[in-house]
């Protein structure tokens, strides 16, 4: 793990500063708001760009006992990093991934009776039991079973080595408070759980909620466990409609900086970047900044995005290139080659977070955070 002092190294062109203490504080807030439900920390996609092993280790030291990933490889990475807690693999699986569940003690989410029976057969072949969580499709229309509840219960009763420990589902519009879709899914999920119990099958862990129900205090969604992702990293989902008051106070955990590789004066009318998409309306100073779309800056930010330079907002001008962006720093205090600008984060009173970047790019904060590339060194502070 890198120390904070590395952030000042002149050899770093672009880096993300990640506060594990802020992630831990967000975790404590979410655990409080979950009202006694087990809080499963979603660390898939490299912990939304924050670094899955360091984040999981920090949360395990806070008392986290459940983690969620997308696939078996992500789960195996956590085990190699020394994570001892339970690891839920949510993203489905192909036949070649099954052995990893047994080898690394992972808990797969199973989305059909067929997949359940495939795992039962594999468990018999390797001679090891395996707990799983069965996912129901209550309205997402993606992963999850739509098979009759009686068929699922009968299949569960025939299992010898696979144990259905949990039943889960996923809300399609968790932060939408005007469409009524959440209520439809709540009802469908509750009816399914009741039918399973009536058929003689009672899972010990029932879970439906992601970040939004926890952040906005939607008690009907909070069962034995909740799964928190975006909120863990400091962002409450943006609600649609008249949302209840936020029940948590969160702080973004990631700041992203990049160094200036050149500052140049250009006259009024001079073009900047590919295809001359921008021309200076006045004599200007342009900073060429060492981060581009290969590092995770969306191409759509051309002419729409901004950064913080010398404590002031500064617009991205011209096309976003693979390795650099160009920023108009005419109205900023003097900057020179090697100075850093803030892509995400705070400088004094100026703030520009991943949600701001997302609005400017026409995407969602998940895209910004998960898209920060491998060339951007993670520095833990």
Bridge pairing between strands 14-18 and 278-279: unpaired
191 backbone φψ class: left, alpha, beta (φ>0; ψ -120 to 50):
alpha
Angle CA 161–165–167, to nearest 5: 125
Distance of CA 312 to the CA centre of its chain: 28
Give dist(CA 204, CA 214) in Å, integer: 21
Residue 313, CA distances (Å) to 46, 172, 276, 350, 356 in order:
29, 35, 23, 7, 12
Local structure of residue 5 (DSSP, 8 states): G
Residues 6 or more apart whose Cβ sits within 8 Å of residue 113: 145, 147, 151, 152, 155
Which helix or strand (DSSP H or E) is residue 361 part of? helix 354-361
264 in catalytic set? no
Bridge pairing between strands 66-69 and 340-347: unpaired
Which of the following is catalytic: 48, 233, 235, 274?
Answer: 274
Give dist(CA 201, CA 195) in Å, integer: 9
Record the tokens describing residue 187, joined without a space. 């009802």
Query: In sequence order, what DSSP letters do the residues of 56-93 get, joined into one string?
Result: HHHHHHHT--EEEESSHHHHHHHHHTT--SEEEE-S--
Positive or negative, the CA dihedral 96, 207, 134, 111 is: negative
Bridge pairing between strands 14-18 and 254-266: antiparallel
44 in catalytic set? yes
Q: Which residues are catalytic?
A: 44, 274
């Amino acid at each position: 793990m890198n120390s904070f002092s590395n952030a000042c190294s002149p050899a770093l062109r672009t880096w993300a500063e990640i506060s594990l203490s802020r992630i831990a504080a967000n975790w404590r807030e979410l655990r409080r708001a979950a009202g006694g439900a087990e809080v499963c920390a979603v660390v898939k996609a490299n912990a939304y760009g924050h670094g899955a092993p360091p984040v999981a280790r920090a949360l395990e030291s806070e008392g986290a006992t459940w983690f969620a990933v997308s696939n078996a490889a992500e789960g195996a990475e956590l085990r190699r990093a020394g994570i001892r807690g339970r690891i839920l693999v949510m993203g489905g699986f192909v036949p070649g991934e099954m052995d990893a569940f047994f080898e690394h003690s992972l808990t797969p989410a199973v989305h059909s009776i067929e997949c359940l029976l495939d795992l039962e057969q594999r468990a018999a072949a390797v001679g090891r039991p395996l707990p799983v969580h069965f996912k129901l499709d209550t309205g997402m229309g993606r992963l999850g079973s739509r098979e009759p509840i009686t068929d699922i219960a009968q299949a569960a009763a025939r299992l010898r080595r696979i144990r259905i420990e949990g039943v889960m589902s996923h809300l399609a519009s968790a932060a939408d408070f005007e469409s009524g879709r959440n209520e439809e899914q709540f009802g469908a999920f509750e009816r399914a759980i009741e039918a399973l119990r009536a058929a003689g099958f009672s899972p010990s862990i029932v879970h439906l909620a992601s970040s939004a129900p926890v952040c906005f205090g939607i008690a009907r969604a909070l069962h034995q466990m909740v799964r928190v992702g975006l909120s863990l990293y400091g962002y409450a989902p943006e609600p649609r409609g008249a949302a209840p008051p936020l029940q948590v106070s969160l702080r973004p955990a990631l700041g992203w900086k990049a160094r200036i590789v050149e500052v140049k004066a250009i006259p009024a009318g001079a073009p900047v970047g590919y295809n001359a998409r921008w021309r200076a309306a006045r004599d200007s100073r342009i900073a060429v900044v060492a981060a581009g779309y290969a590092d995770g800056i969306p191409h759509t930010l051309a002419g729409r995005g901004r950064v913080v330079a010398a404590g002031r907002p500064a617009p991205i001008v011209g096309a976003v290139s693979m390795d650099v962006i160009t920023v108009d720093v005419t109205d900023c205090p003097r900057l020179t080659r090697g100075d850093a600008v803030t892509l995400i984060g705070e400088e004094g009173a100026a703030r520009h977070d991943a949600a701001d970047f997302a609005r400017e790019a026409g995407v969602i904060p998940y895209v910004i955070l998960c898209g920060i590339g491998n060339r951007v060194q993670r520095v833990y502070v």
